[in-house]
Chains A and B, each alone.
Chain A
Amino acid sequence: MISDNTISILLFVLQGLLVIAIAPLLSGWLKIVTCRCQNRSAASLFQPYFAFCKLLIKTPVMAENASWLFRFAPYFYAACLAVLAFVVPFFLYYGVLSPLFDVIVVAGIFALARISMALAAMDVGTAFGSLGARRELFIACLVEPVLLLVLLNLGLITKGLTLEHIGFVLIHKGILYPGLAFSLSAFVLVLLAENGRFPFDNPATHLELTMIHEAMILEYSGRYLALIEWGNSLKLTLFLLLFVNLFFPCGLAVQLSWGALLTGLITTLVKLFVLLTLLAIAESLQAKVRLFRIPEYLGLALFLALMGILLTQLMVTQVTGVPI
Chain B
Amino acid sequence: MINDWLLFLISIMLLCGVLMVVGTHITSVLKLLVAQNTLLAVYLLTKAIYVPNAALFVSVAITVIVKVIILPLLLWKLARFLHLSGRVEPIVNKPTLLLLTTALVFFALILSRNMLTFLPHTSAAGFSLALANAFVAMLLVIVRRKAVTQVIGLLVLENSIFILAAALSTGFPWLIELGMSFDVLVGFMIFTLFLMRIQREYGSLQIHNFEKLKERV
The interface of chain A, by Cβ under 8 A from chain B, is: 174, 176-182, 185, 296, 299-300, 303-304, 306-307, 310-311, 314-324
Q: In the complex, which of the residues A303, A314, A315, A323 contacts B98, with contact meaning CB atoms closer than 8 Å?
A: A303
A323 to B11, Cβ gap below 8 A?
A: no
Which residues of chain A are within 8 angstroms of B8 by Cβ–Cβ distance? 176-178, 180-181
- The answer to whether B128 touches A176 (Cβ under 8 A) is no
Collect the chain A residues with CB atoms within 8 Å of residue B18's CB: 304, 307
A179, A296, A307, A324 — most chain B CB neighbours (10 Å): A324
Contact B125 A314 (CB under 8 A): no
Q: Which residues of A contact B95 (CB under 8 A)?
A: 299
The reply to whether A311 and B109 form a contact with Cβ atoms under 8 Å apart is yes
Cβ–Cβ contact B3 & A178, under 8 A: no
Q: Enumerate chain B residues within 8 angstroms of A174, measured Cβ to Cβ.
A: 1, 4
- A185 / chain B contacts, CB cutoff of 8 Å: 15
Contact A310–B102 (Cβ < 8 Å): yes
Q: Are A296 and B94 in contact (CB under 8 A)?
A: yes
Q: How far is the CB of B31 from chain A (nearest CB, A)?
A: 13
B210 interfacial by beta-carbon distance below 8 Å: no
Whether the pair B15, A318 counts as a contact (CB closer than 8 A) is: no
A176 touches B116 (CB 8 A): no
Q: How far is the CA of A306 from the CA of B106 in the complex (A)?
A: 10
Complex Cα–Cα for A248 and B127 (A): 27
Asked whether, in the complex, the Cβ of B105 is within 8 Å of the Cβ of A316, the reply is: no
Closest to B12 in A: A181
**Roughly how many angstroms separate A317 CA and B112 CA in the complex, as a whole number?**
12
A320 contacts B11, C-beta separation under 8 Å: no
Query: CB distance A319 to B11 under 8 Å?
Result: no
Most B C-beta atoms less than 10 A away, residue of A181, A182, A299:
A181
Check if A318 sits within 8 Å of B102, measured CB to CB: no
Known interface pairs A178-B7, A315-B109; A324-B125 also in contact (CB < 8 Å)? yes
Interface residue? B6 (CB, 8 A):
yes
Expressed in whole angstroms, the Cα–Cα distance for A315 and B128 within the complex equals 7
Q: Which chain B residue has the least Cβ–Cβ distance from A184?
A: B15
Chain B: which residue is nearest A313 at the CB level? B109
Q: Which of B6, B98, B124 contacts A316 (CB 8 A)?
A: B124
Tell me whether B125 and A177 are in contact (CB under 8 A): no
CA distance A181 to B47 in the complex (A): 20
Give Cα A228 to B74, complex, Å. Answer: 52
Taking a contact as CB atoms under 8 Å apart, the answer to whether B11 and A311 are in contact is: yes
Q: Of the candidates B3, B98, B105, B109, which one forms a contact with A320 in the assembled complex, judged by CB atoms under 8 Å apart? A: B3
Name the distance in Å between B48's Cβ and chain A's nearest Cβ.
11
User: How distant is B13 from chain A, measured CB to nearest CB, in Å?
Assistant: 10
**Taking the complex as formed, is B137 at the interface, i.e. its CB lies under 8 A from any CB of chain A?**
no
